[in-house]
């Protein structure tokens, strides 16, 4: 995927990660963006790599594809566990999620 395909609203590349300690396992994220999120056998949500591999390491991130930006943002907004974090790749500043001021 090119940087343009992973770019946010201002052309910035974005990445997303899930704090599994806060995940409630509701699966809303996987409903909104199944290409990016998936529930594992443990009942928690994880991000997936661009190659569709489940990333289970703590703090694992994956690029946000531009066509899915709205779905990923909606996932972060609707998540009852407030555990989805979307941040800029360039400076790791969260732009969507529970830590946005």
Q: What CATH number should be reported for the domain holding residue 88? A: 3.30.70.20
Predicted confidence (pLDDT) per residue in 43-100, tens digit: 999 999 999 999 999 999 999 999 999 999 999 999 999 999 999 999 999 999 998 8
Q: Where are the beta strands (DSSP E) in 8-96?
A: 14-18, 37-39, 45-48, 54-55, 62-63, 84-88, 94-96
In a domain, 79, yes or no: yes
Domain that includes residue 25, residue range: 14-92
Per-residue confidence at 2, pLDDT binned at 50, 70, 90?
very low
pLDDT at 7: 46
Dist. CA 94–CA 57, nearest whole Å = 19
In a domain, 8, yes or no: no
Q: Count how many domains the chain has.
A: 1
pLDDT at 12: 84
In a domain, 84, yes or no: yes
Average pLDDT over residues 31-44: 97
Phi/psi of residue 12, nearest 5 degrees:
-80, 140
In a domain, 9, yes or no: no
Phi/psi of residue 30, nearest 5 degrees:
-70, -25
In a domain, 101, yes or no: no
Per the confidence metrics, is the pTM higher than 0.85?
Answer: yes
Dist. CA 54–CA 51, nearest whole Å = 9
In a domain, 99, yes or no: no
In a domain, 1, yes or no: no
């Amino acid at each position: 995927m090119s940087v343009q395909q992973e770019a946010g609203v201002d052309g910035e590349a974005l990445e997303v990660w899930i704090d599994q300690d806060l995940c409630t396992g509701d699966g809303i994220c996987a409903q909104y963006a199944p290409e990016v999120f998936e529930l594992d056998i443990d009942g928690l949500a994880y991000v997936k790599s661009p190659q569709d591999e489940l990333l289970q390491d703590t703090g694992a991130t994956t690029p946000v594809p531009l066509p899915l930006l709205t779905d990923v943002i909606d996932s972060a907004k609707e998540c009852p566990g407030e555990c989805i974090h979307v941040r800029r790749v360039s400076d790791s500043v969260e732009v969507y999620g529970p830590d946005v001021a």
